[in-house]
Amino acid sequence: MSWLSLSCSPALNALSFDEVGLLSFEVHGPDDGTPVVFLHAVGIDSWMWGKVLEHLDGVQAILIDLPGHGHSGAYGWKSLEHSAAAVSDVVKERCPQGSHLAALSLGSYVGLCAMAQNPTLFSSAVLSGIHAGKMPRRWLMYVMSAILAPFATRPFMARKTASMFGVEPTETEGFVKSATRTRASAFRRATNDVVAFEMPASAEQIRTPVLFAAGGNEHSLILESLDRLERFLPLGSSVTVPDGGHGWPAKKPETFASLLRDNIAATAKAK
């Protein structure tokens, strides 16, 4: 896989987006390819999309590292909304004519917030592993987040996470390297924001066709959210991927790529 790097990697730790410019991102694919922005899960970076891209000929992939992750490690995580605005800045700069969106877990929350802030930012979206709000026992999740954050991106824990996500053994060390670039503070704050997440009221204004996806073996909160998410958005739809866990795109990259291609095609046909 050949990559055109357009990333910036500031070395300081306490800078705002305004001070350092755009989040770090990389571009892969033909200049005339269909532009798709990819947003990753918490505790890893855009490396996670490599296998999916192998099944997406004709796509120009814009892989963004979220604040506190990967080569955006110098950007402190502030909130889902702040990160969404930073992603929007990259999209407007890189894809002024528009793009599609693909995201998993944390990236899905950021992507949804970005669309709520700017309903015309993306032409279509596939968002996997997202709940619709009202997470039970939030206090317990906050405690777990505080306990896990210092260790979550250490190599031994990253290997366990890779196994849970279904990452192939030959890809495990790549996953570990990606995970260890995450700042512990970003892991904790981003996780807490996901725990506290509620659907933005302005999400009802989103006119983008959004496909909400979930692995069939995901937490019940995410599976039960699919219907609510689908009904909340005017052009929402949903799909469950059999035998898939939260990180199912790592185990079934061709399935994720197929869903993305079909969603883009359906959007183009509807215009």
Residues in CB range of 192: below 8 A, 6 or more apart: 141, 142, 145
**pLDDT attached to residue 271:** 64
Q: For 230-239, what is each residue's pLDDT tens digit? A: 999 989 999 9
pLDDT tops 50 at residue 9: no
Nearest alpha-carbon partner for 255 in 215, 208, 209: 215
Q: How far is CA 239 from CA 94, 182, 247, 263, in A?
A: 30, 30, 15, 11
Q: How far is CA 159 from CA 89, 129, 164, 177, in A?
A: 33, 21, 9, 10
Whole-angstrom distance, CA of residue 148 vs CA of residue 203? 31
**pLDDT attached to residue 96:** 87
**Which ranges in 49-183 belong to alpha helices (H)?**
50-53, 80-94, 106-117, 138-152, 155-165, 172-179
CATH tag, 4-134+198-270: 3.40.50.1820
Which of 167 and 26 is assigned the larger pLDDT? 26
Q: For 192-205, what is each residue's pLDDT tens digit? A: 999 999 999 888 88
Cβ atoms of residues 116 and 53 within 8 Å: no
Cβ atoms of residues 109 and 132 within 8 Å: no
